[in-house]
Amino acid sequence: MTQNSSSSMTRRGLLGAFSATTLVAAPTYSNAAGFLRGAGDIRRIRMQSGRTGERLDMIYWIEGDYIGDALREISLFMRDWRTGTAVQIDSRTIDIMTASHRLLDVNEPFLLLSGYRSPQTNAMLRETSSGVASNSLHLRGQAADLRLDSRSVNQISRAAASCNAGGVGRYSGSNFVHMDCGAVRSWGS
């Protein structure tokens, strides 16, 4: 057994051991670094897809490093469900989602309504819905639209905004919050 496979086995062993018992750690992105204090060396995201019914409970960061296989699985989970296409989801967006979830202190997974959007899907949504940006960060894998049954749009948006790490849109009428890793800004009601 080589040193590489030995450390790989150790990492897999750690992931297995921590997956059921570890709380979510927050991001180091932007001013959200303060949420890391006392959070440990693990970051975990929990989501379910409102479109495909799939569920995800994934440790994606451990001991200061992102786990490539986990990020790929998250990216596949957050694919454009209409076309089946996936792009790499920006880890900063995943970190913002994780920090927000941790601040909300819930066990319920986020309900993902929209992650990556293909240009075709974005164009279709622009024709049928208001408020869809032509150059949406969803097109670059840098945004997510999320919901929690146990928390209001205002509670979720306040948690995301407190990260001071990207855009936060409140869509109370549709009961979801947009989170992205773009410029710090907020909108909606």
168 token code pair:
């936060």
Segments forming the whole domain that contains residue 152: 3-188
What pLDDT is attached to residue 41? Answer: 81
Residue in the block written with tokens 């869509």: 171
* Mean pLDDT of the 143-147 span: 97
What pLDDT is attached to residue 166? Answer: 95
* Number of domains the chain is built from: 1
CATH number of domain containing 47: 3.30.1380.10
Q: Is the pLDDT of residue 93 over 90?
A: yes
Residue type, 185: R
What pLDDT is attached to residue 40? Answer: 64
Q: Is the pLDDT of residue 107 over 60?
A: yes
What pLDDT digit, counting tens, does each position of 27-63 carry?
Answer: 334 445 445 444 568 999 999 998 899 999 999 999 8
Q: Is the pLDDT of residue 8 over 60?
A: no
Determine which of 9-18, 40-49, 71-80 has the lowest per-residue pLDDT on average: 9-18
What pLDDT is attached to residue 28? Answer: 37
What pLDDT digit, counting tens, does each position of 116-139 carry?
Answer: 999 999 999 988 887 788 889 999
What pLDDT is attached to residue 19? Answer: 40
